[in-house]
Amino acid sequence: LAGILVVQGETEKAYKYYSRMMSAADAHVRIGEILGGQGRLSEGKEHLRAAIEAEPNHERAIALMAQMNKPELQQVDYRSPR
């Protein structure tokens, strides 16, 4: 259910749902991962930053942030087919 909420743009509701099942940092990481997978990198990185702020040594958040900051991802045009 929470994953569907993220896809629909209801990230606040998704966060509330996830945070009942996992830590605040893990909830933000999960949302950030879904957003990043949709190509919504800036939104995904916002959630990863929140995860790192809540838990500075969160390995998954740090790894995903590094992955989303790769220059080749920043240059992809998600609007046009390749």
Nearest to 43 by CA among 4, 80, 10: 10
Residue located via tokens 């702020």: 53
Over residues 2-22, the pLDDT tens digits come to: 889 998 889 999 999 999 999
CA 55 to chain CA mean position, Å: 15
Q: Any residues with CB less than 8 A from the CB of 13 and at least 6 apart, and which? A: 2, 5
Residues in the chain: 82
* 3-state per-residue secondary structure call for 24-46: HHHHHHHHHHHHHHCCCHHHHHH
More confident residue, 78 or 2: 2
pLDDT band at 73 (very low <50, low <70, confident <90, very high): low
pLDDT band at 74 (very low <50, low <70, confident <90, very high): low
